[in-house]
């Protein structure tokens, strides 16, 4: 497995797969709210559903460990404090702020703000990781990629009316998500990725379940369709988090952070296909810009100059 994820081509492919899965969560979440008849202002029920999803994902990731892991794990070497910190940062705090913020702002504006994730990863990686440098190439690629996200959302309700509990909370959630990415790179190198992600999701989901259950306005009635959606959501989280953590274990967090920009792009495309939303020239142009940003990041400029 180490050989596969150290290969940059495979790492890029697995990164894109993880982003596709996370992007597919956007129409999945909207459909889940409809199936469970969650009201727009019922933040507690949304947080509760998120907690259930991540708890199931934690169990599923542990199942991945039992099936795919070939290393004999010494639990005494597991960095328990790191896992607790990651659970709080990347699951509990990130999604608590995200679901509250999303209830107080437009999804379009949230997507634009989330596009700053790649910038924040590069900045935090430079502050927390000794081997990470901010180069002109990285900055140019991030600018082009983020421009693609802005183009996708331009003219669809984006304005400059900002609120702390809306756009502010989305930005806070995005920052904690970026911090989780950098922490994985800094402390997760010698840890078993399956165990880290499994217990991060399990531990991080518990506060979400408790807070959501206590603040939900209405009870949720489980049905087969709803359960299947939650199961798919768990698969998305378990698989995407595991793939992403394995990539960051062997690759640069600053360099691969740009692939997070694909989440809203994939989410937009799948919303068109699944939810029947209209495909536009703006969406196509945004896709081209994000792909161009990725290309800029991965071109070997030094090698090209030597030739």
- What does pLDDT average to over the chain? 82
Binned at pLDDT 50, 70 and 90, residue 30 comes out as confident
CA distance 137 to 246: 24
**Is the pLDDT at 236 greater than 90, yes or no?**
yes
**Is the pLDDT at 140 greater than 70, yes or no?**
yes
**Is the pLDDT at 49 greater than 80, yes or no?**
yes
Provide mean pLDDT across the span 111-134: 74
In tens, the pLDDT along 202-235 reads 999 999 999 999 999 888 888 999 999 999 999 9
Predicted pLDDT at 208: 96
**Is the pLDDT at 46 greater than 50, yes or no?**
yes
Predicted pLDDT at 293: 78
Predicted pLDDT at 112: 66
Q: Determine contact, residues 226/32, Cβ cutoff 8 Å.
A: yes
Residue 302 burial (CB < 10 Å; 0-12/13-18/19+)?
Answer: exposed
Predicted pLDDT at 75: 76
Q: Which residue would you say has higher pLDDT here, 104 or 222? A: 222
Binned at pLDDT 50, 70 and 90, residue 153 comes out as low
Provide mean pLDDT across the span 251-273: 77
Predicted pLDDT at 206: 97
Predicted pLDDT at 199: 93
In tens, the pLDDT along 67-93 reads 877 677 777 778 899 999 999 999 999
Portion of the chain with pLDDT greater than 90, in percent: 27
Predicted pLDDT at 160: 46
3-class DSSP string for the chain: CHHHHHCHHHHHHHHHHHHHHHHHHHHHHHHHHHHCCCCCCCHHHHHHHHHHHHHHHHHHHHHHHHHHCCCCCCHHHCCHHHHHHHHHHHHHHHHHHHHHHHCCCCHHHHHHHHCCHHHHHHHHHHHHCCCCCCCHHHHHHHHHHHHHHHHHHCCCCCCCCCCHHHHHHHHHHHHHHHHHHHHHHHHCCCCCHHHHHHHHHHHHHHHHHHHHHHHCCCCCCCCHHHHHHHHHHHHHHHHHHHHHHHHHHHCCHHHHHHHHHHHHHHHHHHHHHHHCCCCCHHHHHHHHHHHHHHHHHHCCHHHHHHC
Q: Of the ranges 71-85, 142-156, 163-177, which one carries the lowest mean pLDDT score? A: 142-156
Residue 157 burial (CB < 10 Å; 0-12/13-18/19+)?
Answer: exposed
CA distance 102 to 170: 7
Portion of the chain with pLDDT greater than 70, in percent: 87
């Amino acid at each position: 497995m180490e050989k596969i994820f150290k290969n940059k081509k495979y790492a890029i492919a697995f990164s894109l797969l993880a982003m596709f899965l996370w992007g597919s969560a956007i129409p999945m979440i909207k459909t889940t709210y409809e199936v469970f008849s969650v009201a727009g202002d019922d933040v507690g029920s949304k947080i509760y559903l998120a907690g259930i999803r991540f708890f199931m994902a934690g169990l599923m990731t542990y199942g991945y460990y039992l099936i795919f892991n070939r290393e004999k794990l010494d639990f005494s070497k597991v960095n328990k404090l790191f896992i607790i910190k990651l659970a709080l940062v990347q699951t509990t705090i990130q999604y608590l702020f995200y679901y509250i913020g999303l209830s107080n702002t437009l999804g379009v504006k949230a997507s634009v703000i989330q596009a700053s994730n790649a910038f924040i990863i590069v900045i935090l990686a430079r502050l927390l990781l000794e081997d990470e440098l901010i180069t002109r190439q990285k900055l140019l690629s991030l600018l082009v990629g983020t421009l693609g996200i802005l183009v996708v959302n331009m003219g669809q309700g984006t304005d400059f009316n900002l609120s702390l509990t809306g756009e502010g909370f989305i930005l806070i959630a995005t920052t904690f998500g970026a911090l989780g990415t950098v922490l994985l790179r800094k402390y997760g190198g010698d840890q078993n990725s399956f165990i880290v992600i499994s217990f991060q999701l399990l531990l991080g989901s518990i506060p979400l379940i408790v807070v959501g259950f206590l603040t939900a306005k209405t009870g949720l009635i489980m049905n087969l369709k709803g359960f299947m959606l939650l199961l798919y959501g768990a698969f998305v989280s378990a698989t995407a988090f595991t793939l992403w953590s394995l990539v960051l274990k062997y690759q640069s967090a600053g360099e691969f952070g740009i692939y997070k920009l694909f989440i809203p792009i994939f989410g937009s495309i799948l919303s068109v296909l699944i939810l029947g939303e209209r495909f536009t020239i703006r969406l196509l142009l945004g896709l081209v810009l994000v792909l161009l940003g990725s290309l800029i990041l991965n071109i070997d400029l030094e090698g090209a100059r030597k030739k």
